[in-house]
Each structure stands twice: as structure tokens, then as C-alpha cells.
Homo-oligomer: A and B are copies of this chain.
Amino acid sequence: MYDVARLAGVSQTTVSFVVNNVASAAISQETRDRVWAAIHALGWRPNAMARGLRTRHSQTLGLISDEVVTSPYAVRMILGAQEKAWAGSQMLLVVNTSGQRDIEQTALQFMLERRVEGLLYATMYHHEVEPPPEVRLVPTVLLNCFVADRSLPAIVPDELQGGYTATEALIQRGHRRIAFINETIPMPALFGRLEGYRQALANYGLPFDPTLVRHCHSNAQDTFAVTRELLELPDRPTAIFCFNDKMAMGAYDAIKRVGLRIPQDVAVIGFDNLELIAAQLYPPLTTVALPHYEMGQRAVELLQTLAAGEQLPPTQHFIPCPLIERASI
């Protein structure tokens, strides 16, 4: 900046005023032009570290996530966060801990040293977490997870509404015997979606038939078997709500194998909206989307208002899961 000042024949202060467009400073247009010309001539660029040191603002948010691998579309969460941060001209520091506690700990230290203005603590599937206590030193928003005592604001998908929406979509197309193939591992998604399924049935005056609710691991192979069982039931279900799209893949195979058609004979609805699967299956899979992108955005939005000093209670935000209509119901 001193070099620029010298070349433009002004003081370093003036350069700073011009660069930052300081309202309280009166600088003639002619001087401004000279300063900018000098800046371009020298290729000067502000040093964010020096600026940050003085202003005490890093213009940086940190994102600590456990895994990006399991569900690739959860990446859209990061994307949503990044784009929102970007819109607020902040950068996002991303660290993936691979679920290792020590990495998480040092990542946190690193971020605090860099004076991040807020922290996103994200997980790739919706579950309870116990983040290190230091996260409370800085505004923090949980993404796709929550703490037992709900003492930190969280952005999570509305599993119940999602389950309700899927079931309702089937009911509205006239289905009355709707099977639900649920996950086996206890997790919010399992309980939430089941509850949504029950509420939808109840709301439309349909009975809850426990024989129609099955559990298996969420892969195509296991679901293939479970689906065949369901199809052999005396009063065969006309629709299957699968816990996720991977399961739907297995269900498709099973239905086709016994010579039934989708959706004419058996309708299938999934969950997750994994484009890769849902759009490639034949017929394309109707499913419920996890609103990852929007969750990322909302989380940063919230973080930004918190970082601005606003005092808010640690609300748990449930983001609705929209129905993605394709051709399987």
C-alpha cells in the first residue's frame, strides 16, 4: 500500500480510504482515479491477514464434517453452505474428520486459531452427536445432527413430514395396502419416517397393519429378499415405501423378477433422491428428497445472524423433505 501511495503521490491512508470506499473520508474523484491506476499498475492486492488482524474479522466460516463418503449427495449440504457463505463474501474452511476424534479436535483448534466467525458441525447422516466443548467458544450451528440437550441450534431434515409425504402420495393415488420397508439400525430417520407413515395412514382412516412393516439393512440385496416376501403375502400390498433409494433398487429387481409391473401392479416410492439411482432406474423413481442443499444454506444463514451478535435461543430447525415425482407410483 505504501508503494501504491508513493506512485499515486498520496499517503497510505488515502489509499486505504479509496480501496475501502470509506464514507467519512472526502477524496476527490481525480485522486481516486490516480490511486486505482497505481493499484493496477503495481498489481497490488490487499493482504487479508493484515486486514483481518486490524479489523478482527476473518471473513471465514469453518465446516467440520465427519464423512463425505457414505451418502455422496450429502455433499450438497457443503455446497449449500459454501454458496451461502460466498454470498456473504465469506470463505468456507472445510475439514473432513473421517469420524476420528483427534482429527476433529485439531481441526477445531486450527479453526479457532484462524478466528473463524462461526462453525458448522455437520454429519453425513442424521444422528445425535457430542461435539467438543470448544465449539461453544464461537457461534455454532449443527448440520444434520443434534445434541442430546438441544443446547445448540440445529438444522435437520423433517423425517416425520418426509414419511408422511411419501405415504400420503401413495394414498392419494388410491393405494390402501402400503408396505414400508424400514431400516434396522435405530436412528432418527427410522423413527421419524415410521411415525410419518403411521400418521398419514391414520389421517386417511387406513388401518396400520404391522405385517406390512418390514426391516432390513438399506442395500439392494437384502431389500430384494424382503420385497419378495411382501409380494407373496396373501393380501399383497399394492405399494411399497422404501426407507431409501438403494432399497428401492432392490425392490425394483424383485418386482420385475416376479413379472409384476411398476407402477401398474406395484408402486414404489423411495427416499433420499439419489439422482444417480432414482433417475437411472426404469421407470424413474418417485422419491422424497433430503433437502441437503437447503439445509446447508439455512445453517450458514443462521450462523451469519448469530455471528452478527444476535442472541437467539438454540432452535431445532426441521427442514421439509419435498416429494420428487417421477414415474414409479
Contacts and interface: CB of A to CB of B under 8 A. Distances in A.
Interface of A: 45-50, 52-53, 58, 68-69, 72-73, 75-76, 78-79, 82-83, 86, 89, 91-96, 98, 103, 107, 109-110, 112-115, 219-221, 224, 246, 249-250, 253, 256, 274, 276-277, 279-282
Question: How many copies of this chain does the complex contain?
Answer: 2
B277 A280 contact: yes
A contacts with B: majority SS: helix
A78 B69 CA distance: 11
Contacts of A110: 48, 89, 91
Contact of A49 (B52, B219, B221, B249): B52
A95 B86 contact: yes
A72 B276 CA distance: 9
A173 B279 CA distance: 32
A109 B45 contact: yes
A115 B221 CA distance: 50
A112 B49 CA distance: 11
B48 A50 contact: no
A22 B224 CA distance: 63
In the A-B complex, the 7 residue pairs with the closest CB atoms:
A72-B72, A220-B280, A49-B52, A48-B114, A48-B113, A49-B49, A49-B53
